[in-house]
Structure 1
């Protein structure tokens, strides 16, 4: 078979010229020394098989390109083969010519994606969400969206996929290995979150060492949380280009190192600067772990694994004052708090760096490089390599689009506000409990830290409840096509408990009432907090599908801003309003927010269609 025949054999209209076997089975070609296909003898070069139109159609590939998986590389270009990162094929190679024969071209994909994302009732141009701001909703855009279309790819290019049962595919790893990695990565999140609140158990040591007030000492906590919002701008592109493992190794290594100047800081300014940088470096644990866990599980089963991720960032900060309250009271040493944090981070640095790469695009890039070397064919590559990745695209996906969503997507902003409120309340507890239990009951930091144990217990109950929510969701999936609103069950269960916790905290803030009363508020808060976050996180993903990473980045930014701000005024609020009304003010806000998951459950679809510039959700896809 010569070069042209090899290409033409991928066209379903021309397979009549081939034998029945050739047209139905994956094709073979013999790469020459310069990478082209030739008719050289089999004993001279290795035979390499590729997929045919029929073999792809048998696997369910059609002319309509699906929306890329949540973990696909972020790009403004429409992809002609987004299944590359989730589909396993017998040969592991899919020629672009074959995809063209099926109907996958840049123009066709552009039109298809427009119908999928915009919906029939609101056709728009096929431009990226950021560029579509110049188009009026409901009008047919006349822009070709050249920047968003896939380039005209060389038909001789062959995209790499996992082969059937490929051991390199994280989905095929044994279940016990995937769950072990899930637990270890969740502990990494706990480690990072622990670091943000570790100093809250010993603020007195900061005041004593640098002769500053409580407000200045609190900044050592808030600035690290602010760093959490900026770090993803670095680590998300690093992960997309070089993989999760590289991002963890570099970021956590820097985090370990920068704990040294935190412990030895000669003045408050040095401590604050290093704490901020610790937040930037360690934020990879918060922005990438969810993706790492999702890498290992198919979309239909990853919900239970992601529940561990939802649990970790809210439990981690609670462990900080619980552990370091005893260090503060026993030793009075600020540096020891950071040495312990450094040791914890060092252990997790080693563990996270030892976990194999889970990110499919990077695994396939390496596989493509290996195949190019083995076959001598330079046109074996991933679609990301074929299209190219520019820094402007990275900045658009990681910075501009999240900011765009923050000002154009009211449903996302409302959802993120609730997540932000819950996260902020958690950090508010770190400074409300010392006022309640320290000033009212006279407890020192070590005993105040013990009051956080009920929050951990409540969070564990919530983790168990998430499995119930996931089972209900899977049942819905079997019965009908799910909608994003089906993800709100957890939030509807948890929302009342978060408000009840604050009402209890305010109502039991009397010295003659035993400490069990206010401490028990932590049970309800921990339970509601994790369920709300788990549910709304999934809701955001389903609402924004292709741009889920950008939507989640918006959530991380707003959440971190709230978590950093609340500690700065919580103590003053309790002193001004007293112990009862300080909690009840927050309880009123939390009670009002109970309506959000219920309202979105009933009217969410309509609100998304009316208030969003586009419908990005999973239920807009045919």
Structure 2
């Protein structure tokens, strides 16, 4: 055959075979025997192989019909002679034919976040005919730890002035000194990939099934977001049960949102090590359990602590679902799936006051609010448990373990296993680098500030509406909750618009190489609507104006809110493609901080500034932010070059 083959010895001692070769006595001789087998198979000559070995080679003729058959099944004769079995692996030519070159691409978003300087980042997205890629072959192409590190350092530092050594230590880029000291990966290791048409590859799953999973996971996000705002429909029940003021009752909402910002520090590493499925199952299970003390806590302190922990546990639904969707859809088609993800975290909180306002008015029971939340979370916990693992590194890691057992070759593994998972690198990826970006990247800060503003305004509505509709019109919590329906309607319209924006982006990619600024179309459409909504809310905040006037402001807000988040989320990913997970972690932290802070002063702001000017103050801020997506669309590349310390976009690589 033309394919390179690696010889794998049986566990039993190797006796003298029919080709009169001496027995293998030690590791050095075993390596030589394997090299000999490789040489024989690559030259296409089977004359030096035993009959059993030749039979094994011929058994690979049916490989294309059996893509999962990495290793031919042993026949009884092979067991008697303990001869070497030949496993096909990729050659330099086959990899080059698939487009593999010396220059390593940026890892896809579904790559392990804490893996440094990967020499084979295509491992988790590429499908190969054999499913095994030797490190020695990658070295022959030019992929080495040292060369990758040096290349990335030069590219990342090209537009930078100043001392890069210190920056490399924090951002994880590396430097020449560290690169020279970095050891090479054992060339005898063989990396596992998906095979052509692999049914275990989530990208190959049935399209309908993938969309079913997308809807389920988006519902999970709605469930988590709903839990954060569920108590806003019955703050009076908290005040009555614990004899506290409104400010303390509001903490039960804010503390869970704060938990959203800290939870990813736990669930992102868990996902990298054990997979999305384990992270969802464990975290949602804890979330369900901790709703019990929320319902029966005898003190307000206990309720606040448990609400914070509920935010930490449930945050996996916010920080991992986007990755799960990326696992199932390739880059070219994942935009529409991500649009559902953009819709869910902003609409989920709206159901909180909508549903629980009726529970509060009809029963007056705070505990029932949490029992309903627990039932919703428990149902999603059970449903999500049936979704198979989507994280490619974990799928391939499990496959590598099976292959090691079947072949007896301990050097079949993924690159994640070969490099190991450094605790320090995990901390750098999950904690240090996001904070570093928050301090050194003005472009990211501006985008995150806009996302934070929109998210904060959503939570501000939960406490502005009770003032407007409760104090002005005398409505109770159940009718106040109904006023949020226009926000949902506007968000649904935005969902259809995001699909159109995605089709426009695809047209751009067919004409030319896209830039991160091409992602800003949705934000440019949505930005004016968010400001219009607040101007409407302030202008109609009069007792003689029918309630429809104030409630209708939710339509443009819901529309603009989803479009802005969808667009800026994609823009951040494209601008910081090299460290997309860290940039998104910065966004999540700042967004959650704003969402937790705004409820604490919104009611007082509306009382002090009155209904008109409180809304108009927010409208002025939102109007000033309209210019942001338009300015970056026109001058984004120049601004990124001047304001950013380095270019982290795909173009930099």
8 Å contact from structure 1 (residues 73, 384) kept in 2: yes
- 1:99 alignment partner, one of 138, 143, 149: 138
Instruction: State the match for 1:323 in structure 2.
Output: 355
Q: 1:479 to 1:578 in 2, by over 3 A?
A: same
Q: 1:339 to 1:367 in 2, by over 3 A?
A: same
Instruction: State the match for 1:360 in structure 2.
Output: 392
Instruction: State the match for 1:346 in structure 2.
Output: 378
Q: Displacement of 1:145 after TM fit?
A: 3.9
8 Å contact from structure 2 (residues 70, 130) kept in 1: no
Counterpart CA distance in 2 for 1:528 and 1:209 is: 38
The alignment's TM-score, normalised by the length of structure 2, stands at 0.88
Instruction: State the match for 1:36 in structure 2.
Output: none
SS in 2 for 1:144: helix
In the alignment, does 2:95 pair up with 1:56?
Answer: yes
Instruction: State the match for 2:24 in structure 1.
Output: none
Counterpart CA distance in 2 for 1:103 and 1:428 is: 55
SS in 1 for 2:178: coil
8 Å contact from structure 2 (residues 170, 436) kept in 1: no
In the alignment, does 2:405 pair up with 1:373?
Answer: yes
- 1:193 alignment partner, one of 207, 221, 225: 225
SS in 1 for 2:553: helix
Counterpart CA distance in 1 for 2:431 and 2:109 is: 17
Question: How is 1:172-187 mapped onto 2 (pairs within 5 angstroms)?
Answer: 172-187=204-219
Q: 1:477 to 1:9 in 2, by over 3 A?
A: farther
Question: How is 1:165-564 mapped onto 2 (pairs within 5 angstroms)?
Answer: 165-564=197-596
SS in 1 for 2:552: helix
Instruction: State the match for 1:164 in structure 2.
Output: 196
8 Å contact from structure 2 (residues 115, 416) kept in 1: no
How many correspondences in the alignment?
A: 604
Instruction: Write the deviation string for residues 508-540 of structure 1: whole angstroms up to 9, x where unpaired.
Output: 001111111110100000000000000000000
Q: 1:261 to 1:273 in 2, by over 3 A?
A: same
SS in 2 for 1:336: helix
Instruction: State the match for 1:594 in structure 2.
Output: 626
Counterpart CA distance in 2 for 1:76 and 1:51 is: 23
Q: Displacement of 1:339 after TM fit?
A: 0.2
8 Å contact from structure 1 (residues 371, 380) kept in 2: yes
Instruction: Write the deviation string for residues 129-149 of structure 1: whole angstroms up to 9, x where unpaired.
Output: 5516799xxxx96533468x5
8 Å contact from structure 1 (residues 7, 97) kept in 2: no
**Structure of larger gyration radius:** 2
Instruction: Write the deviation string for residues 106-150 of structure 1: whole angstroms up to 9, x where unpaired.
Output: 22212232344344x449998795516799xxxx96533468x5x
Counterpart CA distance in 1 for 2:38 and 2:570 is: 40
Question: How is 1:2-13 mapped onto 2 (pairs within 5 angstroms)?
Answer: 3-4=31-32
Runs of 4+ in 1 over 4 A off after TM superposition: 1-11, 14-20, 28-33, 39-46, 121-130, 132-135
Q: 1:9 to 1:567 in 2, by over 3 A?
A: farther
8 Å contact from structure 2 (residues 128, 196) kept in 1: yes
Counterpart CA distance in 2 for 1:40 and 1:325 is: 72
Q: 1:293 to 1:126 in 2, by over 3 A?
A: farther
Q: 1:249 to 1:29 in 2, by over 3 A?
A: closer
Instruction: State the match for 2:113 in structure 1.
Output: 74
Q: 1:89 to 1:437 in 2, by over 3 A?
A: same
SS in 1 for 2:330: coil
Counterpart CA distance in 2 for 1:277 and 1:83 is: 37
Counterpart CA distance in 2 for 1:117 and 1:393 is: 19
Instruction: State the match for 1:84 in structure 2.
Output: 123
Counterpart CA distance in 2 for 1:386 and 1:45 is: 25
Counterpart CA distance in 1 for 2:138 and 2:302 is: 57
8 Å contact from structure 1 (residues 506, 579) kept in 2: yes
Q: 1:405 to 1:74 in 2, by over 3 A?
A: same
Instruction: Write the deviation string for residues 269-326 of structure 1: whole angstroms up to 9, x where unpaired.
Output: 0100000000000000000001011100001110100000000000000000000000
8 Å contact from structure 1 (residues 118, 124) kept in 2: no
The alignment's TM-score, normalised by the length of structure 1, stands at 0.92
SS in 2 for 1:62: coil
Counterpart CA distance in 2 for 1:311 and 1:531 is: 9
8 Å contact from structure 1 (residues 126, 144) kept in 2: no
Q: 1:134 to 1:580 in 2, by over 3 A?
A: same
Question: After alignment, is 539-548 or 522-531 more displaced?
Answer: 539-548
Q: Displacement of 1:351 after TM fit?
A: 1.1
SS in 2 for 1:454: helix
Q: 1:199 to 1:110 in 2, by over 3 A?
A: same
Q: 1:559 to 1:469 in 2, by over 3 A?
A: same
Question: How is 1:583-622 mapped onto 2 (pairs within 5 angstroms)?
Answer: 583-621=615-653
Instruction: State the match for 2:178 in structure 1.
Output: 144
SS in 2 for 1:482: coil
Q: 1:107 to 1:561 in 2, by over 3 A?
A: same
Q: 1:403 to 1:130 in 2, by over 3 A?
A: farther
Instruction: Write the deviation string for residues 548-605 of structure 1: whole angstroms up to 9, x where unpaired.
Output: 0000000000000000000000000000000000000000000000011111111111
Q: Displacement of 1:30 after TM fit?
A: 8.5
8 Å contact from structure 1 (residues 245, 353) kept in 2: yes
Counterpart CA distance in 2 for 1:213 and 1:532 is: 35
Question: After alignment, is 44-53 or 500-509 more displaced?
Answer: 44-53
Counterpart CA distance in 1 for 2:586 and 2:172 is: 22
Instruction: Write the deviation string for residues 142-179 of structure 1: whole angstroms up to 9, x where unpaired.
Output: 533468x5x31111100000000111100000000000
8 Å contact from structure 1 (residues 114, 124) kept in 2: no
Q: 1:589 to 1:508 in 2, by over 3 A?
A: same
Q: 1:128 to 1:344 in 2, by over 3 A?
A: farther
